[in-house]
Structure 1
Amino acid sequence: MRISVIGCGYLGAVHAASMAHLGHEVVGVDVDERKVALLARGEAPFFEPGLPELLTEVGATGRLTFTTDIAEAAGATVHFVCVGTPQKKGEHAADLRYVDAAVEALLPHLRPGDVVVGKSTVPVGTAERIAEQVAAAQPEAVTVWNPEFLREGFAVEDTLHPDRIVYGLPEGDAGRVAKEALDAVYATPISENIPVVVTDLATAQLVKVAANSFLATKISFINAMAELCEATGADVTELADAIGYDARIGRRFLNAGLGFGGGCLPKDIRAFMARAGELGADQALSFLREVDSINMRRRVRTVDLVREVCDGSIVGRRVAVLGAAFKPNSDDIRDSPALSVAAQMGLQGAHVVVTDPEARANAERLWPDLRYAATPEEAAKDADVVLLATEWQQYRDLDPEAFGEVVKHKVVVDGRNALDPVKWRAAGWVYRALGRP
């Protein structure tokens, strides 16, 4: 099939390369000339494990091209809309200007029988509005919604081998035609017995935000338990292990610490609340306000914990922050808890030095007032305290004996509960973590 992918950010670039890997002829379209130039050379414009290799592989086949000219999408049978939906400035609602612009640009190039497939995370009701626009421009084109469930750091794997595929389809013949097209696009994963959920447009739009809201709730729940553990002397990690054995609960996403960040969970739960308010159902999601509040409190509590181990004051203290990305295996610093905490400590008088194996350049560009180092050892030189803020494997694997030789004081605050406290304490470190005695 010939496919167009409108928007080549985290979602679109991975989707375009993966679809070409599956054998389709794909054209990726983006307004960012620099991004398009990099992708056209087979270079990933952001860090995502496996993507550079995938771009090199499919680039050699000639099945994947990138352009800034939306007219080159003409002739594709299926058009995936993969642009971002950030949070509006000063509001909780999603900013749909990029979705609207992408659809508006695509409309003149639609042909009878084309399928417009939304993958962007949008407020419920957006797909129906876009379907009206598409029908007005090309009555024989169909609009469907096919939400993405990618994890940054695992996006290639999640695209090629998803845990489920969701189709939001209109009723009647239009829905049948669209399903046939999507089945052809996803023929390979479907042949691997990946579940396909066929539903209506409204439900398909709700699936992604509902999933993210559930995950955010689970993370904030264990962080709320961490607050209680600190008040009682209990250990939140052991608590999570114990309740995680319950099959109804599970252990995943029960790691207490700095909380969630990134370009999805924070803005998605806020946009979900905003849309519920517009629909007159705001009380149904009022609990998400506390989920968001708990998450933000963990950042303040982390600064407080660093202050505690510095005998009540961080003024003039040298703090090494290990991690800038919002999660490991990514260079994404959007709403990064690590950088938020680093900036707060800097404003309160600490000498903060940040390091990250992939996100340092992005952090330096957007947070120029912070100081940066290339390695953990360089960041921790003569440090009064070390804060683990992003649980990169190389930080988890640090040798506390050798690492202790570069710091001024052997004090570590484990903001992700990722280190072995027994091992670090045996090496002479004062070890503190959120929710642990």
Structure 2
Amino acid sequence: MAPPLPRRICCIGAGYVGGPTMAVIADRCPDIAVTVVDLNAERIAAWNDPDLGRLPVYEPGLDAVVGRCRGRNLVFSTAVEDAIAAADMVFLSVNTPTKTRGLGAGQASDLKWVEASARTVAKAASGHTIVVEKSTLPVRTAEAVKAILGSGVAGKTFSVLSNPEFLAEGTAIRDLEDPDRVLIGGDDPDAIDVLAAIYAHWVPQDRILRTNLWSSELSKLTANAFLAQRISSINGIAAFCEVTGADVQEVARAIGADSRIGSKFLKAGPGFGGSCFQKDILNLVYLCRHYGLEEVAAYWEQVVALNTWQQHRIARLVVTRLFGTVTGKRLAILGFAFKADTNDTRESPAIRICRDLLEEGALLQIVDPKVREQQIQRDLGQPAGQGEGSWQLAPSVEQAAQGADALVLVTEWEQFGAIDWSAVVAVMRQPAWLFDARGSADEAAARAAGLSVWRVGQG
């Protein structure tokens, strides 16, 4: 007999995970009322904007899903406690940034929002509530969540589950609608069955995996660590290719044909970014050191170190090829989001590359179809301006290239694969360069138009 589905779901956190995940659940489970809550009134207002093109999260297909459900069984609200009180199931999908000070600073996850959310649930919930960890959390965080929930008012009961997300930004809706797996960890079989029954509306049963809490929490960190490791590995080989005359794309194709290795995450580039990879690896490093596994910690720490090195290397290479200085030179930066098809800039490779070039005195003209000027200002730590060591947001590649000495392709947006190279080169200062950190530009067309080209991993 199938377990009864929850009538009402509340998700605390209206960010890149909470918003899309709850939208898909609402879309696939029309009989469940889904409320996404957040204390950030501006963010909730954006989710409720009649213009679906102004949603705070850009993901291909998200606008259509929200459009079908919002006002039917999907609500975005700032009434946090009311939504919790009415819910049978509460998802915790809040930010867990890396700590910036105190014990574990620079590596451990800051769980203040998770703790605050758990305390709010303990206070506002009624009856029995299933609490689902959706945020990426350190192993055994559920113990702290359970302790907080267990200290509340008598008569309230809770079951705690771990249900980590495995979303790639840019393909999040596809990943939610057709996931490789759904992972549910817990020690309450009935609660696990309830959550599994929700996903079973569209996910085959053999893709719904059940584990204990600790395995589920660790699986998320491990998955991201393994993926990031592949990126750092191929970028290290890319640098080796450049000095030996090999081509990293050919090397990647050759090793990717090995069924034991596979072809995914073997594309050289400016390094990994986004909200998860670096944060999760550093968290894993911290936990390994906490349990005395120094050699294991050092191994994973090097994955992050190599990623940082790759970004500094690209900036240094630009300076070196432009006669050893970029002071006062205009450089067109193509892309600022950490990857195509998202407006997320968290840990974007563009940030470190741009900061290095600004430090060298460059004048940056940044082009990105989805990232707004205010976000770039926050990430670079300085407002748009003029003069040495400044940046501005440009509306098109052609305008960014006006008088520029070089184009630096950092994000693989589709529109950068269809550049009119002749028109661009015509407005640049000569000799002009294309630095293709993604290996995704039409190299032959760029060279034919008169550009000198550096492509990552090409000797």
TM-score by length of 2: 0.90
Report the CA distance shift for 1:332/1:65 in structure 2 as closer, same or farther (over 3 A).
Answer: closer
Counterpart in 2 of 1:85?
Answer: 96
Quote the residue 1:163 is aligned against.
Answer: 180
Q: Which residue of 2 aligns with 1:266?
A: 278
Structure 1: runs of 5+ lacking an equivalent: none
Correspondent of 2:34 among 26, 31, 52? 26
RMSD: 1.7
Q: What residue identity is the alignment partner of 1:184?
A: A
Q: Which residue of 2 aligns with 1:96?
A: 111
Corresponding letter in the other structure for 2:445:
K
| Cα shift at 1:365 | 4.5
For residue 280 of structure 1, the aligned residue among 292, 302, 327 is: 292
| Unmatched tracts of structure 2, length 5 or more | 1-6, 385-390
CA distance in 1, matches of 2:403, 2:198: 55
Q: Match for residue 109 of structure 1? A: 124
C-alpha distance in 1 between matches for 2:75 and 2:18 = 13
Q: 1:420 aligns with which of 426, 442, 448?
A: 442
8 Å CA contact retained: 2:128, 2:156: no
1:37 counterpart residue number: 45
Q: Conserved in 1, the CA contact under 8 Å of 2:403 and 2:427?
A: yes
Deviation of 1:426 (Å): 2.6
Shift of 1:384: 0.6
* 1:344 equivalent in alignment to 2:356: yes
Q: Measure how far apart 1:207 and its partner are.
A: 0.9
Aligned equivalents of 2:180, 2:347: Cα separation in 1 = 27
Which of residues 240, 248, 256 in structure 1 aligns to 2:260? 248
Show the counterpart of 2:428: 407
Q: CA 1:365/1:289 → structure 2, altered by over 3 Å: closer, same or farther? A: closer
| Cα distance in 2 for residues equivalent to 1:287 and 1:228 | 20
State the Cα deviation string for residues 311-333 of structure 1 (Å, max 9, x = none). Answer: 22222221111011111111111
CA shift digits 1:384-437 (9 cap, x unpaired): 111001111101221322322222233100011112322322332211022212
Structure 1's 21 and 194: CA in aligned 2 closer, same or farther, altered over 3 A? farther
Conservation of the 8 A alpha-carbon contact between 2:256 and 2:263 = yes
User: What is residue 148 of structure 1 aligned with on the other side?
Assistant: 165
Once the two structures are superposed, the pairs formed by residues 115-134 of structure 1 within 5 Å of their partners are: 115-134=130-149
Q: For residues 181-196 of structure 1, what are the structure 2 equivalents within 5 Å?
A: 181-190=194-203, 192-193=204-205, 195-196=207-208
Which amino acid counterpart does residue 155 of structure 1 have in structure 2?
A: A
Q: Is the 8 A contact 1:354 1:373 kept in 2?
A: yes
State whether structure 2 residue 431 is matched by structure 1 residue 431.
no
Distance 2:19 2:79 in 1: 13
Indicate the residue corresponding to 2:393 in structure 1: 372
1:147–1:205 CA contact under 8 A, matched in 2:
yes
Query: 2:263 is aligned with what amino acid?
Result: R
**CA–CA distance in structure 2, aligned partners of residues 234 and 399 of structure 1:** 29
* CA deviation profile, 1:154-211 (whole Å, cap 9, x unmatched): 22222222210001011xxxx1211221122212123x45611110000000111100
The offset of 1:38, in angstroms, is: 2.1
SS in 2 for 1:387: strand
Identify which range, 400-409 or 203-212, moves more after superposition: 400-409
Percent identical: 35
1:52 to 63, 66, 73: 63
What is the rounded CA distance, in whole Å, between the counterparts of 1:364 and 1:290 in structure 2? 30
Q: Is 1:75 equivalent to 2:125 in the alignment? A: no
- 1:394 and 1:320 mapped to 2: Cα distance? 15
- Structure 1 stretch displaced more, 48-57 or 17-26: 48-57
Q: Does 1:397 align with 2:410?
A: no
Distance 1:41 1:117 in 2: 28
Q: Do 1:364 and 1:372's aligned partners in 2 also have CA atoms closer than 8 Å?
A: no
* Per-residue Cα deviation, 1:38-91 (whole angstroms, up to 9, x for no partner): 223355223222222222211142443423332222121111110010111142
Q: 1:10 aligns with which of 8, 16, 26?
A: 16
- C-alpha change, 1:142 and 1:291, in structure 2 (3 Å) is same
1:277 positional shift: 1.5
1:252-291, Cα deviation, whole Å (9 max, x unpaired): 1111121011211111111111122122223223211111
Aligned mates of 1:318, 1:104 — CA distance in 2: 51
Secondary structure of 1:202 counterpart: helix
Equivalent residue letter for 1:412: L
Indicate whether 1:178 and 2:191 are aligned.
Answer: yes
Aligned equivalent of 1:304, options 316, 321, 325? 316
Write the mapping of 1:307-346 to structure 2, written as runs, cut at 5 A. Answer: 307-346=319-358
For 1:60 and 1:205, locate their aligned partners in 2 and report how far apart those are by CA, in whole Å.
Answer: 34
C-alpha separation in 1, matches of 2:238 and 2:144: 43
Which range moves more in the overlay, 402-411 or 96-105? 402-411
Which is worse superposed, 68-77 or 293-302? Answer: 68-77
Output the CA distance in 1 between the equivalents of 2:241 and 2:426.
Answer: 32
One-letter amino acid matched to 1:435: G
Q: 2:75 aligns with which of 64, 72, 80?
A: 64
- Distance, in Å, in 1 between the alignment partners of 2:272 and 2:33 is 37
Is the 8 Å Cα contact of residues 125 and 156 (structure 2) preserved in structure 1? no
Give me the whole-angstrom Cα distance separating, in 2, the residues matched to 1:194 and 1:392. 35
In structure 2, C-alpha distance between the alignment counterparts of 1:37 and 1:307, rounded to whole Å: 43
Q: 1:111 to 1:70 in 2, by over 3 A?
A: closer
Residues 45 and 68 (structure 1), Cα distance of their counterparts in 2 relative to 1, 3 Å cut: farther
Tell me how far 1:308 sits from its aligned partner.
2.8
Quote the Cα distance in structure 1 between the aligned partners of 2:435 and 2:284: 34
Contact 1:36 1:68 in 2 (8 A): no
